[in-house]
Chain A
Amino acid sequence: GAGVSQTPSNKVTEKGKYVELRCDPISGHTALYWYRQSLGQGPEFLIYFQGTGAADDSGLPNDRFFAVRPEGSVSTLKIQRTERGDSAVYLCASSTGANTEAFFGQGTRLTVV
């Protein structure tokens, strides 16, 4: 596609529920990043994929968060037992590799009620 696509654009879920957030990167981009952005803050790193493997998952806050990229393209961020503190905009970005522009998607606004 023309850009990074994220679905859904908005998600409201009840505390304790499981959610999946999807990211379709730009075709051919091998690097894929997930970030979380709270209101008034900069994007906070969660996880980085190079191809199918997670090259750096040091930003995942706890074991309720998990992400996959099974075929090296689409990625899914999975959050179990959601908490109100998980409410934020989740941003996905992709790039062709090292030191190149990371293109961001529009984000998924997650609200846990």
Chain B
Amino acid sequence: GENVEQHPSTLSVQEGDSAVIKCTYSDSASNYFPWYKQELGKRPQLIIDIRSNVGEKKDQRIAVTLNKTAKHFSLHITETQPEDSAVYFCAASKGAQKLVFGQGTRLTINP
């Protein structure tokens, strides 16, 4: 079955700098890759997703890139702000099937 590896497990950056989180997946048939943000004690919320027919997607300060050949995808957050501090999860799925999540990255933005 699908296996998703995520790194780093923790990331600390200065406010205004960029943050990058990387994930690899094992099943070449996976075709949907969402990123979720989870604040302490709250539900995971989708921040951006990408499908396998595109290589990059942007939404304001957030972007995701996908390399299908290498089976990895990355989240990029630019101009980080204190409210970006949270745990971020990547996930992968194929068709109408389960999302398999990475282990999470705890991002801390230092003022």
Could you tell me the distance in whole angstroms from the C-beta of A72 to the nearest C-beta in chain B?
A: 15
User: A31 and B96: CB pair below 8 A?
Assistant: yes
As a 0/1 sequence over residues 55 to 97 of chain A, the CB contacts with chain B under 8 angstroms (1 = contact) are: 1101100000000000000000000000000000001000001
Which of B44, B49, B95 has a CB less than 8 Å from the CB of A98? B95
Binding site for B on A (CB under 8 A): 31, 33, 35, 40-45, 48, 50, 55-56, 58-59, 91, 97-99, 101-107
Complex-state Cα separation, A91 to B98, whole angstroms: 13
Q: Is the CB of A104 within 8 A of B32?
A: no
Given A91-B44, A104-B43: A42 in contact with B97 (beta carbons within 8 A) = no
User: Which of A56, A97, A101 makes the CB contact (< 8 A) with B98?
Assistant: A56
Instruction: Tell me whether A99 and B32 are in contact (CB under 8 A).
Output: yes
Offer 22 A-B interface pairs, CB within 8 angstroms, sorted by A: A31-B96, A33-B98, A33-B99, A35-B101, A41-B104, A42-B6, A42-B89, A42-B101, A43-B44, A43-B101, A44-B101, A45-B98, A48-B97, A97-B96, A98-B32, A98-B95, A98-B96, A98-B97, A99-B51, A99-B93, A99-B95, A102-B99
